[in-house]
Amino acid sequence: MEQRSDVVVVGAGVVGLATALALLADGRSVRVIEARTIGSGSSHGNCGTITPSHAPPLAAPGRVGEALRMILRPDAPLYIRPRVDAGLWRWLWRFAGRCNLQDWEASARAKSLLLNDSRERLAEWIRAYGLACEFAASGEDYVFRSLAAFERGQRELDLLRELGVEVEVIEGPAYDAMEPAVLPGTAGAIRFRGDAVLRPDRYVDELARVVRAHGGVIDEDRPLQRLDERGAGVALQTAHGTLEAGEVVIAAGAWSPRLAQALDARWLGRAMQPGKGYSITYDPPALVPRRPLVLRDWSVCVTSWPSGFRLGSTMEFSGFDSRLHPRRLAALERAARASLREPVGPVVRERWCGWRPMSCDDVPIIGRLPGHRHSWLATGHGMMGVGMSAGTGQLVADLMAGRVPAMDPGPFDPARLAG
């Protein structure tokens, strides 16, 4: 039996490592166990934007019809691969029930709490811990080639302003003049000055470095097999022996539902689905945008750092299909070619896909595992794991310590989905 820890965190992605760091700052002893390698999930290849502007959820009015119209387009931004999958269709039924104005607004307000807290807390962590992750308080632009899309894109701005997001609407000719990286003919743009960017794989590596420097232990290639609560704590059966701890935090991202049986929480398999995203990383071209862009007509994100240039996004519901589909990768480059003077870099460094942990209401699942005394969840962050990581870690630490947290934890309570 290895030395007992105060807390074991299951998952060494961005949320698990941020949670471990917040718990270490509280004076707890922490061990992180990871089934594969550090940052091997969606933490690795996403676009690295830190975006309070992205509070509106995927579950929005009209989304079901949009998905159905795209179902025969394998390169569509939102694609559900037709197949017999009872778990997916149960999840979609619950998701569809949230696609109304009232639930959309409630989810946006909940996500905004965590996004805003994380944006400020992340900047503090970068200063305090010296995280070398190419962070920049850059802002972000939504760029539209279609006037109709530009007009639709402004419908949610009143709510975002109410949530504290600084918004600037820019007409197309003015935007073309101020952003030399875009092709002429922009219909309009929306600028969010409070957003930021970092390189996510380096952020994860830096979190791991700081966790270890502060006494945390990280075990790779150590999947959880079973969790048993015992009076004063938990026993975790792993592929390399048993661990004992006072508390456990499940931060396994899209793989969390696969632990549902081990956790005696079968409802988790009904509450989440893996949402597959793609990216291509290049050496930077000579002319890159001055800040991250979202090419809204195609839902493609463009980010650049001193060390790289990335096209990414899309949402594909195809289970844990690990294939890199050329048509979906080509759609990223096609959107960039329609929008940017230099749409790709001179050298491709990586073509990637990974799975985002999508909850059925697109709100994270953070709090005590229902029916358990010593087990906690920190999962379901959808496309916002990097941008919500610091706030999630602090929220878990506060709840575990019995402190009043910086935000209302109610909207994230796992019990809302356990029925």
Q: Which residue has the higher pLDDT, 84 or 403?
A: 403
Domain count, the chain: 1
Q: Is the pLDDT of residue 215 over 80?
A: yes
Digit-coded pLDDT (tens) for 304-329: 999 999 999 889 999 999 999 999 99
pLDDT at position 82 is 83
Domain extent, residue 240, equals: 5-417
pLDDT(342) > 70: yes
Q: What is the mean pLDDT of the chain?
A: 95
Count the neighbouring beta carbons within 10 Å of the beta carbon of residue 241: 10
pLDDT of the residue at 298 = 95
Q: Minimum mean pLDDT among 248-252, 265-269, 292-296, 401-405: which range?
A: 265-269
CB 295 within 8 A of CB 337: no
- pTM of this prediction? 0.97
- Percent with pLDDT over 90 in the chain: 89
pLDDT tens per residue across span 90-101: 999 999 999 999
pLDDT tens profile 126-157: 999 999 999 999 999 999 999 999 999 999 99
Q: What is the DSSP string of 42-64?
A: TTTTS--EE-GGG-S-SS-TTHH
The per-residue pLDDT for range 265-278, each reduced to its tens digit, is 999 999 999 999 99
For 165-194, the DSSP string reads --EEEEEHHHHHHH-TTBPS---EEEEETT
Tens-place pLDDT, residues 198-211: 999 999 999 999 99
Name residues whose C-beta falls within 8 Å of residue 235's C-beta, 6 or more positions apart in sequence. Answer: 227, 228, 242, 243, 244
CATH number of the structural domain spanning residue 10: 3.50.50.60
Local confidence band at 174 (pLDDT 50, 70, 90 cut-offs): very high
What does the pLDDT read at residue 60? 92
301 has a pLDDT exceeding 80: yes
- Model pLDDT, residue 169: 98
Residues above pLDDT 70, as percent of the chain: 100
Whether the predicted pLDDT of 120 surpasses 60 = yes
Q: Determine the Cα–Cα distance for residues 259 and 265; give it in Å rounded to an integer.
A: 8
- Percent helix, percent strand, percent coil in the chain, to nearest 5: 35, 25, 35
**Mean predicted confidence (pLDDT) in 83-89:** 88
* Whether the predicted pLDDT of 419 surpasses 80: no
pLDDT at 3 (0 to 100)? 80
pLDDT of amino acid 328: 94
Confidence (pLDDT) at 43:
86
Q: Is 220 exposed, middle or buried (0-12, 13-18, 19+ CB in 10 A)?
A: middle
**pLDDT category, 1, cuts 50, 70, 90?**
low
84 vs 72, which has greater pLDDT? 84
Residue 17 is predicted with a pLDDT of: 98
Residue 305, φ and ψ in degrees, nearest 5: -135, 170
Over residues 40-51, the pLDDT tens digits come to: 988 899 999 999
Give the DSSP letter of residue 4. P
CA 7 to each of CA 106, 205, 263, 376, 386: distance values in angstroms, whole numbers, following the listed order: 32, 21, 16, 10, 22
Q: What is the mean pLDDT of residues 349-354?
A: 97
pLDDT given at position 168:
98
Q: What is the pLDDT of residue 202?
A: 97
